[in-house]
Amino acid sequence: MQQPEIIPHLFRTEFRKITAVLCKRFGMENVNVAEDIASETFLSALETWPYKGLPENPTAWLYTVAKNKAKNMLARNEVFHNKITPFVQAETPEGQQPDIDLSPENIADSQLQMLFAICHPAIPPEAQIGLALRILCGFGIDEIATAFLSNKETINKRLYRAKEKLRAEKVTMEFPPESEIAGRLQPVLTTLYLLFNEGYYSESRDEVLRNDLCLEAMRLTQMLIAYPPTNLPNVNALLALMCFHASRFESRRGDKGQMVLYHDQDEALWNRELIAKGIWHLNTAATGDKLSKYHIEASIAYWHTIKEDTPEKWENILQLFNHLLVLEYSPVAALNRTYALAKVRGTDVAIIEAEKLQLTNNPYYFTLLGELYKNIDPQKALENLQRALALAKTQADKLVIQAGIHNLTGAKN
């Protein structure tokens, strides 16, 4: 990797590690201080490496500089000194410098403990995702703003409020007792699920960003699996779901940025290694006596890795959607079920069920109705697609809908 490229790469991979370790050492209430030290460390690299050359071990260089900056701040910052030094001195033998442990083991523990801390129930879900992107994934404020289709000012305010809430609630960085793991794990999994969806269903046209959001969600989920107390069936089911969806990532966008619908995707672009990994984790999840929504959604996603249309495939998908709606009803799941229903029971039955939903503010509702009506009543299909186009928010969705309208009308581009 060339020198101009290595600092952004290391920022993405090492900023989060340095910040998590410093937060663990100095407390969540000093998360801003931890981020400042990590940021100053990379600023030093930007100021030094272009002139003195790349160090032999860039990561070790960053860790050394971060440790020194943390120790210097302890010595010079009176406010920080008054708040932290008594705590640090209590754990530091006399005559020794306070230790900043950047070993791989402590980094992994710190990131997991940070994940539990930022997924505190007092923090709104959007803010949890923002904190995860910033502190645990090393995303810059600009990137987070792009992911949320927002601006830097809004994101900064959101993160500031979330950090203040963490401080007010006196949230600590620690692993929950094993007896509390299951309860504390649920909001963590929800955050990772939403983080993955932010990438997979992102309205941003930044392809690299979309990929990175999904990969970071998968990385953090994999970390939970690597920690024995959280290597649980629902965690494996969530990673299986992510693997199955990510396996089709490259086939979902056309060469002009348009969304490629499932039945038009090039199966040769599907990632077979990710599919195999998803199958392994789904099999691993098939233990215990609790069925989570991640188990069901992963099973639905598995059947979508089989391209061939067979009665068995769509009957299984339909039954899985039925189970999902009983376990945790959502209008979007009910809408997706109607497509499977059309495959199994026919479009007439599916239209009746779809129109009961009355999701009149959802462009996908009208897109699906357009698809269901196209061979029964082309005029109704066109009307539904035109309503979908009026509601569509992204250029990618508009291109798909316009293509459907074109196929119905035979109009020229």
Q: What is the pLDDT of residues 266-280, one digit of tens each?
A: 999 999 999 999 999
Rounded mean pLDDT of 73-101?
Answer: 59
Q: Kindly report the average pLDDT of the chain as a whole number.
A: 88
Say which residue, 146 or 341, is predicted with more confidence: 341
Q: Is 82 a residue whose pLDDT tops 70?
A: no
Euclidean distance between CA atoms 293 and 392, whole angstroms: 28
Q: Is 399 a residue whose pLDDT tops 70?
A: yes
Contact 153, 102 (CB under 8 A): no
Each residue's pLDDT tens digit, 138-156: 888 888 888 777 899 999 9
What 237-240 contacts at long range (C-beta under 8 Å, 24+ apart), as own/partner pairs, is 237/281, 237/282, 237/285, 237/292, 237/294, 237/295, 237/298, 238/189, 238/192, 238/193, 238/294, 238/298, 239/278, 239/281, 240/278, 240/279, 240/280, 240/281, 240/282, 240/285, 240/294, 240/298, 240/301, 240/302
| Per-residue confidence (pLDDT) for residue 178, from 0 to 100 | 82
Band (pLDDT 50/70/90 cuts) for residue 126 is confident
Question: What number of other Cβ atoms are within 10 A of residue 235's Cβ?
Answer: 25
Euclidean distance between CA atoms 403 and 82, whole angstroms: 65
| Per-residue confidence (pLDDT) for residue 4, from 0 to 100 | 58
Q: Return the H-helix or E-strand segment holding 272.
A: helix 272-285
Query: Which residues, 6+ apart, have CB-to-CB distance to 23 below 8 Å?
Result: 30, 31, 34, 110, 114, 117, 135, 173
Phi, psi angle pair for 253, to nearest 5°: -120, 135
| Per-residue confidence (pLDDT) for residue 159, from 0 to 100 | 92
Band (pLDDT 50/70/90 cuts) for residue 29 is confident
Query: What are the angstrom distances between the C-alpha of 407 and each of 138, 166, 364, 378, 388?
Result: 44, 53, 18, 10, 15
- Of the candidates 16, 196, 2, which has an alpha carbon nearest to the alpha carbon of residue 102? 16
Each residue's pLDDT tens digit, 193-206: 988 988 887 766 66
Say which residue, 285 or 172, is predicted with more confidence: 285
Assign 242 to helix, strand or coil. helix
What 289-294 contacts at long range (C-beta under 8 Å, 24+ apart), as own/partner pairs, is 290/233, 290/234, 291/323, 291/327, 292/233, 292/234, 292/237, 293/324, 293/327, 293/328, 294/189, 294/193, 294/234, 294/237, 294/238, 294/240, 294/241
Euclidean distance between CA atoms 192 and 215, whole angstroms: 11
Rounded mean pLDDT of 281-293?
Answer: 93
Question: What number of other Cβ atoms are within 10 A of residue 9's Cβ?
Answer: 12
| Per-residue confidence (pLDDT) for residue 2, from 0 to 100 | 55
Q: Which amino acid belongs to residue 178?
A: E
| Per-residue confidence (pLDDT) for residue 37, from 0 to 100 | 94
Euclidean distance between CA atoms 165 and 130, whole angstroms: 14
